[in-house]
Amino acid sequence: MAFETASLPLLKEALEILEEGFRDLPDFDARFDMAALRPVILETARRLRDNYPYQHPLYIGHMIKPPHPVARLAYALALWINPNNHSFDGGRASSAMEKEAVAQLAHMIGWEKHLGHLCGGGTLANLEALWISGKLAPGKTIVASQQAHFTHERICEALRIPFESAPTDDRARMDMKALRETLDRKDVGMVVVTLGTTGVGAVDPLLEILELREEYGFRIHADAAYGGYYVLVDELEPDTRAVFSHVGEVDSLVVDPHKHGLQPYGCGCILFRDPSVGRFYKHDSPYTYFTSSELHLGEISLECSRAGAAAVALWATQRMLPLVKGGEFAQSLLRCRKAALRLYELIEAHPRFMSPFPPETDIVVWAPRADTVSEASDLSRALFEEASREGLHMALADVPGSFFSRKYPSLIQDRESITALRCCMMKPEHMDWIDSVWAVAKRAAGRVFERM
How far apart are the C-alpha atoms of 225 and 256, rounded to whole Å? 5
402: domain CATH number is 3.90.1150.10
Question: Are 404 and 312 in the same domain?
Answer: no
**DSSP run (H or E) holding 369:** none
Continuous H helices in 80-168: 92-108, 122-136, 151-159
Question: At residue 446, does pLDDT exceed 80?
Answer: yes
Q: Please give the pLDDT value at position 425.
A: 97
Question: Are 164 and 309 in the same domain?
Answer: yes
Question: At residue 300, does pLDDT exceed 90?
Answer: no
Question: Are 259 and 349 in the same domain?
Answer: no
Q: Tell me the average pLDDT across 133-161.
A: 97
Q: What average pLDDT does the structure give for the chain?
A: 94
Question: At residue 152, does pLDDT exceed 90?
Answer: yes
Question: At residue 7, does pLDDT exceed 80?
Answer: yes
Q: Please give the pLDDT value at position 293.
A: 46
Confidence of residue 284 (pLDDT cuts 50, 70, 90): low
How far apart are the C-alpha atoms of 102 and 123, rounded to whole Å? 18
Whether 316 maps to a domain, the answer reads yes
297: domain CATH number is 3.40.640.10
Total count of domains within the chain: 2
How far apart are the C-alpha atoms of 224 and 253, rounded to whole Å? 7
Question: Are 200 and 315 in the same domain?
Answer: yes
Whether 42 maps to a domain, the answer reads no
Whether 384 maps to a domain, the answer reads yes
| Nearest residue to 372 via CA among 401, 411, 407, 418 | 411
Report pLDDT digits (tens) over 399-436: 999 999 999 999 999 999 999 999 999 999 999 999 99
Q: Please give the pLDDT value at position 30.
A: 75
Q: Tell me the average pLDDT across 236-262.
A: 97
Q: Tell me the average pLDDT across 314-333.
A: 98
Question: Are 371 and 264 in the same domain?
Answer: no
Confidence of residue 281 (pLDDT cuts 50, 70, 90): confident
Whether 86 maps to a domain, the answer reads no
Question: Are 278 and 356 in the same domain?
Answer: no
Report pLDDT digits (tens) over 378-396: 999 999 999 999 999 999 9
Cis, bond preceding 266 (omega within 30 deg of 0): yes
Q: Tell me the average pLDDT across 181-186.
A: 96
Report pLDDT digits (tens) over 112-129: 999 999 999 999 999 999
Q: What count of residues does the chain have?
A: 452
Strand order in the sheet with 163-166: 115-119, 268-272, 252-255, 219-223, 188-194, 141-145, 163-166
Question: Are 163 and 310 in the same domain?
Answer: yes
Whether 32 maps to a domain, the answer reads no
How far apart are the C-alpha atoms of 206 and 230, rounded to whole Å? 15
Q: What are phi and psi of 159, to 5 degrees?
A: -85, -5
Q: Tell me the average pLDDT across 234-262.
A: 97
Question: Are 316 and 339 in the same domain?
Answer: no
Question: Are 213 and 240 in the same domain?
Answer: yes
Provide the domain limits for residue 264: 92-284+292-320
Choose between 349 and 33: higher pLDDT.
349
Confidence of residue 291 (pLDDT cuts 50, 70, 90): very low
Question: Are 309 and 342 in the same domain?
Answer: no
Question: Are 306 and 440 in the same domain?
Answer: no
Question: Are 165 and 235 in the same domain?
Answer: yes
